[in-house]
Structure 1
Amino acid sequence: MSEKKEFRVDNLSCANCAQKFENNLKKLPNVEEVKVNFGASKVAITGQVTEDEIDSAGAFDGITVQRSAESKVEKRIPVYKKRENVVALIALAYVILGYITSYVYPDNTFIPTLFFLIAIVVGGAEIFLAGFKNLAKLEFDMKTLMTIAIIGAAIIGEWKEAAVVVFLFAVSEALEAYSMDKARQSIRSLMDIAPPSAVIKRDGELVEILTEEIQINDVLIIKPGEKIAMDGVVITGKSSINQAAITGESIPVAKDIGDEVFAGTLNDTGALEVRVTKRVEDTTIAKIIHLVEEAQAEKAPSQQFVDRFAKYYTPAIMLIALLVAVVPGLVTGDWATWIYQGLAVLVVGCPCALIISTPVAIVTAIGNAAKQGVLIKGGIHLEELGHVNAIAFDKTGTLTRGIPEVTSVKMEQFDGINPLAFIAAVEADSQHPLADAVLSYTHVNNLEIPKSSNFQSVTGKGVIAEVEGKKVQIGSIRWISEETQVSKTTQDEMNLLQLQGNSLIVAAIDGKFAGYIAIADQLRDEAVSVLQSLKELGVKHLFMLTGDAKPTAQAIAEKLPLTDVKADLLPADKLVEIKKMKEDYHIAMVGDGVNDAPALAAASVGIAMGGAGTDTALETADVALMADDLEKLPYTMKLSKKTLTIIKQNIIFALGLKVIALLLVIPGWLTLWIAIFADMGATLLVVMNSLRLLKIQKK
């Protein structure tokens, strides 16, 4: 059986290098499948292969690997120690010496040329080595083109310019490495969240061990101010937990016995004992990191287009360079000038900036979203979100809080008893979904609840029980109206409350009408502002899909800026509605990821609420809002639209600068250093423009 291994990759700073590294790995014997993830600096290999063989495949650019399980975090190297920075500084020193000596000794060309030659060798040794190897295989990347250009410049006596070009290229490499490192910081910060070890209780003793060695059902001891190392359930203690690292919530969440806690979250106040429920590789934060890295590896539609375009672009540039070098030379006889111009065209035409234009934006956006508690499972979904012009919402738990609350209470006068307390006594034995709302209400109002007995359920009508010797009936309006006299005024009040979306609990005590309690699922406080924000972002159609009855759905809908409401829908009906909407709109579906799973999967983009700890949401949805926070939705839409804009800008920058530089060939103004500036400038402009996505935050 073939073995699949994952490695983290060091020194992977160039999209072209990543592609070449992948191609080299595919050529190794016994390797069946290879996937290099440029954004996450990872490689997955299926087959029999050693680390030495993998390192040899990346030797062309100093690319090395480490086992993922052994080292989660890429080694940090100080800026002044980084190889590319040291090389650039040494090359600069010799270029400066070359210029100084050329002015001090204007008649002596040997000394300045020697310094320029040393700058070329020091700054360009690795370039030349890789370039010659590529030439032997007829592979044409930036280093091949640079090798041809620098050697050509030296042959025609342009030593000074060749040295400057080598230095600028070294600077370009250093800046690109720094920029990509910056883009990957979001992932790296996620990896740093969970502590590498934890204190556990085993055989009555406290021991500190590595998280990899912690087993399910081990008990973690967590002191105030400590990070939680593993997912688990609280078995002793109470505390508030800062879950911002997982869910993006800024307010700590209260935790009690039986509550779930996540690895990487911070224990604020109380001491806790937590029973471990997942191994280190299965924790929520581990899943998030894995899904984000996989998402960054997935090619978005615009990236697929750029990759196809680059296949034709590079040969076209090489043909133009050849024509520039040969045709004017044949006409004018000035071979030196036009060969030089042809070499400059080769350098300026390198597609580095174009190839990196999309992935660097996708990597940055998905990483930023993860830090904000939004998990976007691929560049394709990020782009699709930017095209969404309609959103369908589930009602319960999405637009509403999902917890029924008492909205109105009316009780009749009885001698010596409180009807509300008697109703609560019966509801305490009930399994009805509205019973909890009644009990919560009586608890908040500090009512003393007596005990009930002889509890009976009357199918389709309600319940009967005895409380302090009195017969208590609780049920529907129709049933209680049949059993006792209810005034027309009260009947009208109850009918109006039902039309407003309330469910009613009506009661009678010893055959006399006792009163009613109106209960409704309350609208989220932020629902109206969120929907308004979505409209401002260009989402023109907002729908609500719910299984609730039409009056209840309509009552909620009247408070919201919705386009349309569909009520009385089963999960299968929601699926049908989404399929219909897809014919007319780019539709996103927002739900809880469980009973809405079919609709989430069918929508152009499925968005699940409250994904933290919910495997269904993480697996089914294209986007998971890790906290139960609807306000993350406008942020996510804004991020996706901004990403689309930046990708378009990047492609324009990458091609526009090169077109401008190529036009300088016509008057013969294109030089090697202008060519390298254009290439370096386009690459850096693309990366820096993409890093602007890090500034987009949830308001």
Structure 2
Amino acid sequence: MIKKQFILEGLDCAACSMKIEEKVSKINYVENVTLNFVNKTLSLNVDEDKEDKIEDEIKYIVNRLEPDVKVRTKSNYNKNKAIIKKPQKAIKTRNNERDKITLLLEGLDCANCANKIEHHATELIEVKEASLDFISKKLRIDLNNKEDYNKTIKNVENIVKKLEPDVKVVNITMNGKATVKKSEINRSTNKDNTEEENLELIKFVVGTAFFVAAVILNKIEWIKILFFIISYVLVGGDVVLNAIKNIFKGQVFDENFLMTIATVGAFSIKQYPEAVAVMIFYKIGELFQSRAVNHSRKSISDLMDIRPDYAVLLKNNKEIKVSPYEIQPNDIIIVKPGEKIPLDGVIIEGNSQVDTSALTGESLPKIIRENDEVLGGYINKNGVIRIKVTKEFGESTISKILDLVENASSKKAETEKFITKFARYYTPIVVISALLLAIVPPLVIPGATFDSWIYRALVFLVVSCPCALVVSIPLGFFGGIGAASKQGILIKGGNYLEALNKVDSVVFDKTGTLTKGVFKVTKIKPEDWIKESELIRIAAHIESYSNHPIALSIASYYEKNIEKDKVTSINEYAGMGLEGIFDGKFILAGNDKLMDKQSINYSPVEEPGTVIYMTVNNIYAGYILISDELKEDSKEAIKGLRSLGIKNTVMLTGDSIAVAGIISEQLGLNKFYAGLLPQDKVEKLEEIFSEKSKNGKVVFVGDGINDAPVLARADIGIAMGGVGSDAAIEAADIVIMNDEPSKITKAIDIAKKTNKIVWQNIIFALTVKFIILALGALGYATMWEAVFGDVGVALIAVLNSMRVLKTK
């Protein structure tokens, strides 16, 4: 199967989108059909042989249901007909940098407007995909063609200018055409923000003074009204102006429009003090809300601030401070005490201790010496070290980690998607209800006055803005991802963070996951006709052609030179062992499956460890016992999972039943399956899927390299020991950046706390808003309560979302 995506241009009927999705799902050669009504994208997997046919089928279905909708192919997936195993995150490199754009939207403070900008950017024909993170104010764009680079930036600038004319678009794409340093962005942003904030503060103070004067001089009617008007213009003039601009641009149902209608309406029914006071307190609430959001943004940014500002290059015996992007592989850099190691490399001179907590969450310093590998993001604690760089910055571990975490917000949780859809319908419904509330009761209820019911309708308008949800929900998920990254846990999206709340089965690989994966030869048992030294010599030569940890442990134990010219005809049997010719003799080295496959007469061994059986010319020659150790915190991990209510813990291993049984008993696992080949693990995982609860999720935890098929099949794939491993970072949905299984418990704990906070915000915001709407309709709530229901609730929700950052 290959993945295809189609844009349904002009689709504006939610009910029709559901019908289209249903009809397409019934095509017998497609699967996994989803239609995202928000961005009008139809995604599906199609049989490769029917790829040319599917577009015509979709056009036929769409034209029958929605004749005005146009179908076009979205070419951001599988141009080369790649086999679908699981959607993979593309890692940014210099070669494809012109295909990606990152824009900073300075001054963007409207969550609803951010959604509109993202929507319009996604609709651009030259754009594969666009994602706007309101928290960091970054718009990330993938292009169909790098030639559209400048055109796309221009189009996005026009979109932003139309929707948010005061927002400044800054191209911060790294290694592409524009490169803007973080410090320059911050300096420019802070300067502009400070000047604007000072002007706003002066206007607000003067406007408030006029309001106080109007209240004091309430006996002189015309002066009182004049001062109220001046106060209103100074405090809320920008709100009214923005509302008028937006109306001409076709944007009616935003916060500026609602506040303008509500306060102007209050003026029209001679509620002057309340109209101005509501605007004053609205602005105060907006100020506090903006400060809270900015503070939370800074807190999250600080959690992930591991990007080095510079590198010290050693060139011609001179130290030159340069950007990390200018360093190339094989360059020599110097890192002094207190400095961040800027790129991945190998120490060629010096010893030190490094703080790895930014990458792994490990609090204890790590000792490093010559020939040790180090990663960008480590902090050098003491001692000057010289490092030979092995990867350019765009390919380094730190760059990939930053890319994954910063882009995690583009993979939205189902709750986020629901809130986005909810906000699109909620505000218009409340506004229409307000209009009906102002007009219908005075016409049908005897004695009812328009003034009274218009006032109640104005309460509806003030409280109808969904900002509390639109801002706080994404902030909660992004905060959870940031908190996890500080613990050395990379979660690739809010969807995976949310899915961790529903885990009911955790399936582990054994080697390198629950055990250390550091094998040692603990016993050599030859038959009577062969010497021990000869048995290990034969085994070492044959195993020298394999990179499996067991093979490496045998070669390491031999400690003598391997004469590879004496070895020929090597053949490896996946999950079984090796065969080959050594010194003219036919050798087998492997497990009991290989012995059975070759019909060898041998004596099965039941000892705790991995048994490698040896034959010479198909005659059994003895065995070598390899032992592995449990990780120190494996028991703690299983215990922690049980405390979180996860009762089903399973181990899948290619090792013998005897070894697997011992490990399972030591850890207290529910069950284990032993003697499995890679394809067998997928089959066993399918069995576990059939036993899970309806909404339960199955997690598979492996090393990210040998277990890629199982990681891909699981609901959530977690790779262990991901530091420096490109394969681990690519394969899994979540990467544990060190070898601690207990971090899985921490990830689930963070997910549960995040989910709890998110739902606290949803329930709190909707409850307060609906209560105020009901009281307003009955005439018990004033516009004061309505202002609290808008900005007050939003402020409390944002502050509540920040609590997830304190998760330890």
Counterpart residue number, 2:42? none
Counterpart residue number, 2:170? 65
Match of 1:124 among 203, 223, 236: 236
CA apart distance, 1:584 = 2.6
Percent identical among aligned pairs is 37
CA apart distance, 1:202 = 2.2
Counterpart residue number, 1:140? 253
Range 127-136 or range 89-98, more displaced: 89-98
In 1: Cα distance, 2:202 partner to 2:651 partner: 61
CA apart distance, 1:86 = 5.7
1:247-396 equivalent positions in 2, closer than 5 A: 247-330=360-443, 331=445, 332-396=447-511
CA apart distance, 1:132 = 1.0
CA apart distance, 1:238 = 3.1
In 1: Cα distance, 2:372 partner to 2:721 partner: 15
Letter matched to residue 264 of structure 1? G
In 1: Cα distance, 2:406 partner to 2:564 partner: 59
Structure 1 counterpart SS, 2:628: strand
Range 176-185 or range 423-432, more displaced: 423-432
Task: Say yes or no: does 1:537 pair with 2:639.
Answer: no
CA apart distance, 1:386 = 0.9
CA contact 1:40–1:187 (8 Å) conserved in 2: no
User: CA-to-partner distance for each residue in 1:460-492, whole Å, 9 max, x for gaps?
Assistant: 9999x9xxxxxxxxx9999xxxxxxxxxxxxx9
In 1: Cα distance, 2:626 partner to 2:267 partner: 85
Structure 2 counterpart SS, 1:75: helix
In 2: Cα distance, 1:461 partner to 1:613 partner: 29
In 2: Cα distance, 1:390 partner to 1:30 partner: 42
In 2: Cα distance, 1:314 partner to 1:297 partner: 24
CA apart distance, 1:670 = 2.3
1:471-550 equivalent positions in 2, closer than 5 A: 498-501=606-609, 503=611, 519-550=626-657
Q: Which structure has more RCO (C-alpha within 8 Å, separation ≥ 6)?
A: 1
CA apart distance, 1:619 = 1.2
In 2: Cα distance, 1:29 partner to 1:502 partner: 57
Counterpart residue number, 2:113? 17
CA contact 2:698–2:716 (8 Å) conserved in 1: yes
CA apart distance, 1:93 = 4.9
CA apart distance, 1:98 = 2.3
In 2: Cα distance, 1:589 partner to 1:181 partner: 37
In 1: Cα distance, 2:246 partner to 2:392 partner: 45
CA contact 1:590–1:607 (8 Å) conserved in 2: yes
CA apart distance, 1:32 = 8.0
Letter matched to residue 241 of structure 2? L
CA contact 1:132–1:147 (8 Å) conserved in 2: no
Letter matched to residue 108 of structure 1? I
Task: Say yes or no: does 1:680 pair with 2:787.
Answer: no
Letter matched to residue 141 of structure 1? D
In 2: Cα distance, 1:24 partner to 1:423 partner: 70
1:197-276 equivalent positions in 2, closer than 5 A: 197-276=310-389
CA apart distance, 1:148 = 1.0
User: CA-to-partner distance for each residue in 1:617-641, whole Å, 9 max, x for gaps?
Assistant: 1111010111222221111001112
User: CA-to-partner distance for each residue in 1:139-186, whole Å, 9 max, x for gaps?
Assistant: 211111111112112222222222222222222322232222233335
Counterpart residue number, 1:445? none
In 2: Cα distance, 1:694 partner to 1:403 partner: 36
Structure 1 counterpart SS, 2:186: coil
In 2: Cα distance, 1:345 partner to 1:454 partner: 83
CA apart distance, 1:557 = 0.9
Match of 1:657 among 764, 768, 785: 768
Counterpart residue number, 1:189? 302
CA apart distance, 1:567 = 0.7
User: CA-to-partner distance for each residue in 1:269-300, whole Å, 9 max, x for gaps?
Assistant: 33322222222233222211211122112221
CA contact 1:40–1:296 (8 Å) conserved in 2: no
In 2: Cα distance, 1:119 partner to 1:210 partner: 51
Runs of 5+ in structure 2 lacking a partner? 1-74, 76-97, 526-530, 571-576, 583-588, 593-602, 615-621
In 2: Cα distance, 1:222 partner to 1:593 partner: 31
CA contact 2:543–2:555 (8 Å) conserved in 1: no
CA contact 2:405–2:490 (8 Å) conserved in 1: yes
1:547-696 equivalent positions in 2, closer than 5 A: 547-585=654-692, 586-696=697-807
CA contact 1:653–1:685 (8 Å) conserved in 2: no
After superposition, the Cα gap between the structure-2 partners of 1:63 and 1:650, relative to the gap in structure 1 and judged at 3 Å, is farther
CA contact 2:543–2:554 (8 Å) conserved in 1: no
Q: Which has the larger radius of gyration?
A: 1
Letter matched to residue 632 of structure 1? K
CA contact 1:502–1:519 (8 Å) conserved in 2: yes
Structure 2 counterpart SS, 1:641: helix
Task: Say yes or no: does 1:75 pair with 2:190.
Answer: no
Structure 2 counterpart SS, 1:347: helix
Counterpart residue number, 1:162? 275
CA contact 1:12–1:41 (8 Å) conserved in 2: yes
For normalisation by structure 2, the TM-score amounts to: 0.72
Task: Say yes or no: does 1:109 pair with 2:205.
Answer: no
Letter matched to residue 124 of structure 1? G
Range 139-148 or range 84-93, more displaced: 84-93
Structure 2 counterpart SS, 1:403: coil
CA apart distance, 1:375 = 0.8
CA apart distance, 1:239 = 2.8
CA apart distance, 1:219 = 1.1
Structure 1 counterpart SS, 2:729: helix
CA contact 1:608–1:625 (8 Å) conserved in 2: yes
User: CA-to-partner distance for each residue in 1:224-248, whole Å, 9 max, x for gaps?
Assistant: 3321112222233333322111121
Structure 2 counterpart SS, 1:562: coil
* Alignment length (residue pairs): 655
CA apart distance, 1:119 = 3.0
CA apart distance, 1:334 = 1.5
CA contact 2:541–2:563 (8 Å) conserved in 1: no
RMSD: 4.1
Letter matched to residue 500 of structure 1? P
In 2: Cα distance, 1:680 partner to 1:318 partner: 18
Counterpart residue number, 2:140? 44
In 2: Cα distance, 1:24 partner to 1:404 partner: 55
Runs of 5+ in structure 1 lacking a partner? 411-418, 443-448, 466-474, 479-491, 507-514
User: CA-to-partner distance for each residue in 1:632-688, whole Å, 9 max, x for gaps?
Assistant: 111100111222222222211121011110121244122222211111122122212
In 1: Cα distance, 2:307 partner to 2:271 partner: 55
Letter matched to residue 645 of structure 1? K
Structure 2 counterpart SS, 1:171: helix
CA contact 1:501–1:554 (8 Å) conserved in 2: no
In 1: Cα distance, 2:410 partner to 2:805 partner: 19
In 2: Cα distance, 1:477 partner to 1:366 partner: 42
Letter matched to residue 225 of structure 1? G
Range 58-67 or range 546-555, more displaced: 58-67
CA contact 2:105–2:167 (8 Å) conserved in 1: no
User: CA-to-partner distance for each residue in 1:363-410, whole Å, 9 max, x for gaps?
Assistant: 111111112211111111111111011000000011111112467899
In 1: Cα distance, 2:422 partner to 2:307 partner: 42
